[in-house]
Amino acid sequence: MEGAKSYAWRRALIWVLIFLKVEGYFVDITYVEDAVAKGAVCLDGSPPAYHLSPGFGSGVNNWLVQIEGGGWCNNVTTCLARKVTRLGSSKQMVKQLAFSGILSNTPPFNPDFYNWNKVKVRYCDGSSFTGDVERVDPVTNLHYRGARVWLAIMEDLLARGMDKAENALLSGCSAGGLTSLLHCDNFRALLPTGANVKCLSDAGYFINVKDITGTAHIAAFFDDVVTTHGSAKNLPSFCTSRMAPGLCLFPQYLVQQIQTPLFILNAAYDSWQIKNILAPGVADPHGTWHDCKLDIKQCSSSQLQIMQGFRTEFLDVLAELGSSSSRGMFINSCYAHCQSEMQETWLASDSPMLQNTTIGKAVGDWFYGRSAFQKIDCPYPCDSTCHNRIFEDYSAA
């Protein structure tokens, strides 16, 4: 019996080691303690944080800064709820984080960035690093300081060697992908003049579209985010001078003016946008879209028709990106959200592909100028390489 247990234990350990070798490795957290004195803090007043895996070999002066995603809070109630989680407090963050995909340190799984300095910036402000309200309500103790957090973390990284960067990529997933667009030119301005600096937005191209009831739900939500966090003064002035500040969280109103080279990685049927922008719960009180949002294969023909309309609107506003070769694009027809951080979708034997090119290769070729990449997939369900998300049905628990 003991022998069987020992064998089972060893077998489990072997599988864990294989997972870590192939899928990722763990990186310790770093708290930016001196940021607190500057008021650059998470929602609960705790210090901001990141995870840094040092570069080595030829990548010692190259920097990949990946911004964590996690939505936004748009009022006191939602920010209070967020404040007691890892998305509002560094006290709630795990001490180690697994790096994989674009953060992998293994050449076969990340050939262009494996030996770079790789940073995962933790997200704890709820505003995509745009907020800055001086006053702190003593009742809620909420700190809206995202813009200060951004600057404090950048200053810390510059002091750790990023000021000598030769190549740098600012990237992010979801709300972090939006951050990489909002701060793209600012990031470029912080680095040496001769450095090769570019930005990648993964699942961050949120579009201003009405929900299934014809209500401008996401526009109202973003307006509340900007108002709550005092973000207007930290959003691009070329946008806020022309339209309501809340609209300036939508990439479609920003990308034309961004000077730094960009790469947009997005699913045309982005699962977060389908669930929260197109068919949010408030627009579907009877749960007609419930099964469809969990699994695209459960969508009815009429629901798929509406989703095809969403794709059309997405591609229309994506045209604002322009056709410059400095702009990269990988738009697949998957039901997915964030494809750069997981090895299986970034670069693996069965990864999503467009014209026989994986996401990892497309981004690498674009960054180093080996070849331009601007590809848009055919409509669902044509792409057999997709890793379509299937979500758990927590309502049945």
Examine residue 274 and state whether it is found in any structural domain, yes or no: yes
Give 316's contacts (C-beta < 8 A, 6+ positions apart).
none
Ranking 17-31, 122-136, 338-352 by mean pLDDT, the lowest is: 17-31
In a domain, 119, yes or no: yes
**Rounded mean pLDDT of the chain?**
94
202 phi and psi angles, rounded to 5 deg:
-105, 115
List pLDDT tens digits, range 138-179.
Answer: 999 999 999 999 999 999 999 999 999 999 999 999 999 999
Domain count of the chain?
A: 1
| 387 is a catalytic site residue | no
Single out the catalytic residue among 125, 132, 202, 270.
270
Q: Structural domain of residue 272, as residue ranges?
A: 22-376
Residue in this structure with the two tokens 């390489």, named with its chain if needed: 385
- The type of residue at 284 is D
Identify the band that residue 37 occupies on the pLDDT scale cut at 50, 70 and 90.
very high
Quick check: 23 pLDDT over 80?
no
The answer on pLDDT for 9 being more than 60 is: no
Q: Which of 53, 89, 100, 174 is catalytic?
A: 174
Sequence-distant (≥ 6) Cβ neighbours of residue 87 within 8 angstroms: 70, 71, 123, 124, 126
Q: Does the residue 16 lie in any domain?
A: no
270 catalytically annotated: yes
pTM, to two decimals: 0.93
Lowest mean per-residue pLDDT among 11-25, 57-71, 95-109, 234-248: 11-25
Q: Cβ(303)–Cβ(380) under 8 Å? A: no
Question: Would 6 be classed as within a structural domain?
Answer: no
In a domain, 10, yes or no: no
Banded pLDDT at 18 (limits 50, 70, 90):
very low
Residue 302 lies in a domain: yes
- The answer to whether 217 is a known catalytic residue is no
Question: How many CB atoms within 10 Å of residue 54?
Answer: 15
- Per annotation, catalytic residue among 46, 337, 340, 351: 337
Quickly state the pLDDT bin for 396 (edges 50, 70, 90): low
What pLDDT shows up at residue 46?
Answer: 98
**How many other C-beta atoms can be found within 10 angstroms of the C-beta atom of residue 83?**
23
* 54: CATH: 3.40.50
Burial (CB < 10 A; 0-12, 13-18, 19+), residue 287, is exposed
In a domain, 333, yes or no: yes
Task: Tell me: pLDDT of 397 over 70.
Answer: no
